[in-house]
């Protein structure tokens, strides 16, 4: 978030397109801020994208569309939102010779790893980390996503991991300024 990860994904896909490859970009239907058929980065860069639902049907659509249209490389934006079935789909497409580029966040609003990211990361040929600046101190590297509820307060730990079409606000935060009320403290025992 605000780290330029979508820009980096678009940049990679553009290079492939220029090299003559048949490329497509998929994105989850979660973000209705922008037009449904395109991905728009925070800098306003636009690229055509195929919107898919965040369920097994959406995953199936990625596989079918890629094979039917004979895409040689595909990009998937915001993969953290997809269900676990995406792992199976990605491995299947890789076996079929499709190059896959994905962008996603490591941690959810609670500061805990997204499952699908944890599962897919070890298969990556290459990972690129992009950086965001903490919205509070502007000094440190923001590795956390702060969810702020419609009441203007930090979202409670017990809130759902994904809220589709919610009015919540998100900010990039460093570890020090990440607030999650209700989050259990880590214990260490030997
Ligand atoms: Zn900070």
Catalytic residue of the set 47, 56, 78, 141 = 78
Kindly give the distance from the C-alpha atom of residue 73 to the centroid of ligand 1, in angstroms, as a whole number: 37
- Residue 143 pLDDT exceeds 90: yes
Q: What does the pLDDT read at residue 37?
A: 73
Taking the domains of the chain in order of start, what are their residue ranges? 5-129
Kindly give the distance from the C-alpha atom of residue 104 to the centroid of ligand 1, in angstroms, as a whole number: 21
CA dist., res. 51 & res. 38, Å (int): 8
Q: How confident is the model at residue 34 (pLDDT cuts 50, 70, 90)?
A: low
Query: Would you list the DSSP string of the chain?
Result: --SSHHHHHHHHHHHHHHTT--EEEEEETT--SS-TTEEE-TT--EEE-EEE-SSHHHHHHHHHHHHHTT-SEEEES-GGGS-THHHHHHHHHHHTT-EEEE---SB-TTS-B-HHHHHHGGG-S------EE-TTTSSSEE-EEEEE-TTSSBPPTTS-S--TT---EEEEE-STT---TTPPPP----
Kindly give the distance from the C-alpha atom of residue 153 to the centroid of ligand 1, in angstroms, as a whole number: 17
Q: What architecture is domain 5-129?
A: 3-Layer(aba) Sandwich (3.40)
Which residues are placed with Cβ below 5 angstroms of ligand 1, an ion?
Answer: 134, 136-137, 140, 174, 177
160-170 average pLDDT score: 85
CA dist., res. 32 & res. 2, Å (int): 17
Q: Is 78 a catalytic residue?
A: yes
Kindly give the distance from the C-alpha atom of residue 174 to the centroid of ligand 1, in angstroms, as a whole number: 4
- Residue 32 pLDDT exceeds 60: no
User: What does pTM read for this prediction?
Assistant: 0.89
pLDDT in tens, 107-125: 999 999 999 999 999 999 9
163-183 average pLDDT score: 91
Kindly give the distance from the C-alpha atom of residue 164 to the centroid of ligand 1, in angstroms, as a whole number: 27
């Amino acid at each position: 978030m605000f780290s330029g990860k979508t820009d980096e994904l678009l940049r990679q896909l553009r290079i492939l397109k220029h090299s003559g490859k048949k490329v497509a970009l998929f994105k989850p239907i979660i973000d209705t801020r922008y037009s449904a058929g395109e991905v728009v980065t925070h800098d306003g860069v636009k690229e055509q994208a195929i919107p898919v639902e965040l369920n097994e049907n959406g995953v199936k659509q990625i596989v079918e569309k890629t094979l039917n249209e004979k895409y040689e490389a595909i990009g998937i934006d915001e993969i953290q939102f997809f269900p676990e079935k995406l792992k199976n789909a990605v491995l299947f497409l890789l076996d079929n010779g499709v190059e896959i580029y994905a962008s996603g966040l490591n941690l959810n609003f609670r500061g805990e790893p997204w499952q699908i990211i944890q599962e897919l990361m070890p298969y990556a040929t290459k990972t690129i980390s992009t950086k965001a600046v903490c919205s509070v101190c502007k000094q440190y590297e923001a590795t956390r996503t702060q969810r702020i509820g419609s009441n203007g307060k930090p979202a409670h730990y017990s809130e759902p991991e994904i809220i589709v079409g919610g009015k919540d606000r998100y900010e990039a935060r460093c570890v020090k300024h990440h607030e999650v009320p209700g989050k259990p403290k880590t214990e260490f025992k030997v």
